[in-house]
């Protein structure tokens, strides 16, 4: 059997029409691997369901992320093979640089499948992931498959702002999630990496609905504009502050946390603009990182911001949380609080960062019970590995 090389697979999918990507993959798998069929299942916004890319009825054929065979491949990010007598199905994670997008499920007659095919199948899934990101510019097909129910307009705006929900490099791994996924009010996160730095921002939106989404969109766009212009962290905060105040004259403002990590050393510049909170898990100990609170963006004209510094060490795990997490009350009125959060952090310590935010939000839902959420909640988790072979400078290895 002759199969297309990885570069040939990438070329075939690159030439396919965006809406015809899945059909092109099916044809390629049938021709090169004798596959009987294939299905692409996109992860929904709530990371609860895997939904087929199809023009069929809403929700038809969706499966659970937690309890299904495709969900096992999605969670482990490893191929999962299921044999059923005369048939074999291979479930393959579809991810791009650590961002988990979907699962490609490929069906074979039992006599057509052999474990040696897995390498080539992974190449097809990897190439498909990259092409999905490109195709999203030209078709709504994959974005439609992500929604298990209709998004509010505000939520649509918020999700469009996000860089992804997970990312990884040798130096770090990141994961983030917003809830309620289909009706978020204003919380948001953003990240960008260069050869030497990772910039991470999280904000706790003010208000709800379209007003909150517009405020967040303005602030995030201003920060991106400043960052892409090469400005340092203080100037990024100042430009965003001026943009928000110029638009709202102090009537609305935005709490935001800005962090810039030096990948070579783990040194971090931080600006706490009335921000979400940071917690750190280091060597089995959970503690809040205390920062000097400065004014939220847009509260007053020409606010002067200053950077604090801390250091992260290899093995550190950081949690960035909005008040929709730590202020949530149980039906009896008990706040989620430090103890419950510490328990959730420890309970998720063996999970990769891409899975941690949803696991903590699930615990939050159980704590809240039947009480309707009055605010959205955001969790971002960062594992710091450090740059391989890098020598840290200085002696302040405390990380605070």
Give me 310's structure tokens: 């801390």
User: Domain range holding 45?
Assistant: 6-145
Task: Specify the pLDDT at position 224.
Answer: 98
Task: Specify the pLDDT at position 393.
Answer: 47
Closest of 78, 44, 52 to residue 352, by C-alpha: 78
Task: Specify the pLDDT at position 61.
Answer: 84
Taking the model in full, what pTM does it have?
0.91
Residues 110 and 183 reside in one and the same domain: no
Give me 281's structure tokens: 């898990």
Burial code (b: 16+ CB inside 10 Å, e: under 16) for 214-239 equals bbbbbbbebbbebbeeeeebbebbbb
Distance CA 159, CA 189 (A): 10
CATH number for position 21: 3.30.450.40
Task: Specify the pLDDT at position 58.
Answer: 56
User: Would you tell me how many other CB atoms lie within 10 Å of the CB of residue 44?
Assistant: 20
Residue 244, in any domain of the structure:
yes
Give me 45's structure tokens: 């916004």
Low-confidence ranges of the chain (pLDDT < 70): 1, 55-60, 327-335, 337, 368-375, 391-400
Q: By CB neighbour count within 10 A (0-12 exposed, 13-18 middle, 19+ buried), where does 27 fall?
A: middle
Looking at the 3D structure of the chain, how many domains does it have?
2
Residues 218 and 139 reside in one and the same domain: no
Task: Specify the pLDDT at position 396.
Answer: 41
Q: Which of 145, 168, 189 is the last residue of a domain?
A: 145
Q: Are 120 and 33 in contact (CB under 8 A)?
A: yes
CATH number for position 359: 3.60.40.10
Residues 121 and 158 reside in one and the same domain: no
Task: Specify the pLDDT at position 397.
Answer: 41
Residues 189 and 129 reside in one and the same domain: no
Task: Specify the pLDDT at position 377.
Answer: 87
Task: Specify the pLDDT at position 33.
Answer: 97
Residue 397, in any domain of the structure:
no
Residues 125 and 163 reside in one and the same domain: no
Residue 261, in any domain of the structure:
yes
Task: Specify the pLDDT at position 355.
Answer: 96
The contacts of residue 147 (CB under 8 Å, 6+ apart) are 44, 45, 182
Task: Specify the pLDDT at position 174.
Answer: 97
Residues 334 and 266 reside in one and the same domain: yes
């Amino acid at each position: 059997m002759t199969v297309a090389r990885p570069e040939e697979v990438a070329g075939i999918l690159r030439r396919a029409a965006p809406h015809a990507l899945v059909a092109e993959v099916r044809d390629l798998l049938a021709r090169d691997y004798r596959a009987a069929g294939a299905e692409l299942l996109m992860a929904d916004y709530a990371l609860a369901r895997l939904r087929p890319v199809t023009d069929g009825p809403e929700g038809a054929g969706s499966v659970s992320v937690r309890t299904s065979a495709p969900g096992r491949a999605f969670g482990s990010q490893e191929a999962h093979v299921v044999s059923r007598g005369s048939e074999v199905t291979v479930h393959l994670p579809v991810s791009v640089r650590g961002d988990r997008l979907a699962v490609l499920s490929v069906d074979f007659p039992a006599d057509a499948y052999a474990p040696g095919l897995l390498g080539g199948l992974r190449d097809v899934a990897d190439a498909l992931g990259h092409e999905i990101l490109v195709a999203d510019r030209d078709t709504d097909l994959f974005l439609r498959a992500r929604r298990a129910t209709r998004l509010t307009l505000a939520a649509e705006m918020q999700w469009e702002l996000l860089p992804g929900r997970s990312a990884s490099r040798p130096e770090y791994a990141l994961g983030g999630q917003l809830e309620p996924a289909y009706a978020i009010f204003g919380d948001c996160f953003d990240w960008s990496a260069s050869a030497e730095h990772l910039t991470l921002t999280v904000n706790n939106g003010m208000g709800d609905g379209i007003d909150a989404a517009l405020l967040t969109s303005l602030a995030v766009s201003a920060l991106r504009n400043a960052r892409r212009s090469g400005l340092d962290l203080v100037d990024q905060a100042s430009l965003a502050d001026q943009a928000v105040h110029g638009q709202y004259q102090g009537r609305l403002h935005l709490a935001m946390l800005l962090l810039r990590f030096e990948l070579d050393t783990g040194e971090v510049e931080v600006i706490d603009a009335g921000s979400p909170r940071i917690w750190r898990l280091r060597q089995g100990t959970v503690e809040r990182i205390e920062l000097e609170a400065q004014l939220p963006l847009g509260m007053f004209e020409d606010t002067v911001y200053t950077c604090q510094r801390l250091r992260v060490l290899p093995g550190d795990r950081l949690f960035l949380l909005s008040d929709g997490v730590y202020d949530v009350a149980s039906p009896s009125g008990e706040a989620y609080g430090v103890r419950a959060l510490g328990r959730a952090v420890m309970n998720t310590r063996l999970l990769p960062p891409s899975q941690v935010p949803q696991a903590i939000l699930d615990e939050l839902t159980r704590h809240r019970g039947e009480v309707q959420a009055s605010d959205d909640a955001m969790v971002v988790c960062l594992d710091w590995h450090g740059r391989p072979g890098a020598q840290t400078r200085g002696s302040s290895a405390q990380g605070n």
